Amino acid sequence: MSWANKKPSHKSAGATAEPVPQTPPAGQTCAGCQYWTPTTTECKRYPPQILQPYGGNPDIRFAFPKIAGSDWCGDYVKSGG
């Protein structure tokens, strides 16, 4: 039997399911997290992302992701402590 003709099994041990959306615990949204900046709505939990050059400008630019205050990533750290 050729491996090229074998159909993949969807029940393989390494298969993972789609992530299940979770709701944040009470009061643990981005708006109350120390990594979220309300004036710019940027999350500074992780390093900034590289932006593609725009309009032929070869300069490399970086930016933190813009996040809504009502979002939740699961890495909540209470603001102020």
Residue 34 has what pLDDT?
Answer: 92
The span from the CA of 59 to the CA of 52, in Å, is: 9
Give the residue extent of every domain in the chain: 24-81
Residue 19 has what pLDDT?
Answer: 62
Q: What percent of the chain has pLDDT over 70?
A: 64
Question: With a cut of 70, which residues of the chain have pLDDT below it?
Answer: 1-22, 54-57, 81
- Give the global pTM: 0.57
Residue 41 has what pLDDT?
Answer: 93
Burial of 41 (0-12, 13-18, 19+ CB in 10 A): middle
